Amino acid sequence: MSFKGLAFIRQWAKEHIYKPRVLGEPQRSAPDLAKAFRKDARSAQVKLDEVEDEVGPLEKGIGKLMDGRPLDTPK
């Protein structure tokens, strides 16, 4: 078999064969795994953005008393 033929088979195997980690686990192809990983990464980024939006006002309020004065100012 030629080098190009071997390279093609190797590339095809990388894209389409996934060996299960656990005996009995269904096999998934590499493109399916990549799609699932991207989806998980997007949802994780959305959750991180939501948390940052919630924490932003809290960070601004840290260090202030209830009436809005900074902690180090006398009453």
pLDDT of residue 28: 65
Give the predicted TM-score (pTM) of the model.
0.31
> pLDDT at position 75, please?
59
For the chain, which residues make up each domain, given as ranges?
A: 28-63
Range 9-44 burial, b when 16+ CB lie within 10 A, else e: eeeeeeeeebeeeeeeeeeeeeeeeeeeeeeeeeee
Q: What is the per-residue pLDDT across 4-19, written as a single tens digit (0 to 9) for each?
A: 888 888 888 777 776 6
| Residue range 17-66, pLDDT digits in tens | 766 566 666 666 677 777 777 777 777 778 878 877 777 666 666 656 55
